[in-house]
Structure 1
């Protein structure tokens, strides 16, 4: 049990590093009114992949830590770091819950079952993000910069978050399904 816990902790660090790198260096930044920004990136795909592979808590923690560090090191995003941590952790928890508790993907030998539940779990976690990321951002913008700026930022954030979600679902499910045989053969242990 102790070795399994240590393996998950180590892999959580790997997913944190991956999400940081993907978010920080492979993003398309979009400027918003008031000096803020949103971006199109695949950091959420790493978060979802972590939740599919490690479970919701560990996968969410890896994604949350990695992208929060990315926010803290970028002056444009530094004020949104707490929001990032909460939302990315929730993506992982929701994805992990749907995949492992409802879909029981780790026990299934049926590739179709695993594919369906992995996709459903990924969509569930990222649908949460599509709804709550723009809402959190809207209320923050409205308090700081006023309603007009908040409405413009909301529209841009909703668009970029939706694009991120679609890309992240495709990438995470594809990579998970590719890695799953190695996981089952214990070539990758958790």
Structure 2
């Protein structure tokens, strides 16, 4: 029985940094901003890359990749910067759930049915947290009812559900191709054998 504890390797750090960079680029450059009552929201590719990071790297590495990449994006936008810490928590939970499910009991993100469940749970858990916070925010600002609060954030809700759905599709399409490509590199072999 192997009782050695595995620490965080240089390969883990590099994998997290690379996927965080991909998340940031996808969020920053591949988005459509939509004006809303409370500022703006976006339809973006970033959520799909967050799910992809989780499917490729697993729970904690995918969670850190998603959280760091999205938080960096928020910190560069004055509208989002004040909520960057909330973004970190939401995306960490989203990708953490997805990666944990996909890699549970040695599945290593290789089971398509499990990846589908993981991607859906991750993407829609983020949407639930995001939409819930927007509705609560409207209630705190004085919305006279939950219905009015929901109506006030309809654009946010629509964008979040589009991001979740597109994110699941993008991640599930890309993960087998990228996984195979990574496994054929020395870097990928170190990343997967260490996890």
Q: TM-score range by the shorter chain?
A: 0.7 to 0.9
Give the TM-score normalised by the residue count of structure 1. Answer: 0.85
> Does 2:174 match 1:146?
no
| Aligned residue pairs, count | 181
Aligned mates of 2:169, 2:66 — CA distance in 1: 17
Q: Kindly tell me: are residues 153 and 87 of structure 1, through their superposed partners in 2, closer, same or farther at Cα, counting changes over 3 Å?
A: farther
- Please, what is the CA RMSD of the aligned residues? 2.1
Matched, 1:44 2:40: no
Equivalent pair of 2:62/2:95 in contact (CA under 8 Å): yes
1:56-67 matches, cutoff 5 A: 56-67=59-70
Indicate whether 1:126 and 2:130 are aligned.
no
Structure that is richer in helix per residue: 1
Whether the 8 Å CA contact 2:37–2:153 is kept in 1: the answer is: no
- Aligned equivalent of 1:25: 29
C-alpha deviations, 1:24-56, integer Å up to 9, x for none? 11111111113x111100111111111111111
The answer for the alignment partner of 2:71 in structure 1 is 68
Q: Secondary structure in 2 aligned to 1:146? A: coil
TM-fit CA distance, 1:182: 3.0
Structure 2, unpaired ranges of 5+: 1-5
Counterpart residue number, 1:78: 81
Is 1:105 the equivalent of 2:107?
yes
Secondary structure of the structure 2 residue equivalent to 1:147: coil
Q: So what's the TM-score if we normalise by structure 2?
A: 0.83
The worse-fitting range, judged by mean Cα deviation, of 129-138 and 168-177 is 129-138
Select the structure of larger CA radius of gyration: 2
Report deviation, 1:16.
1.1
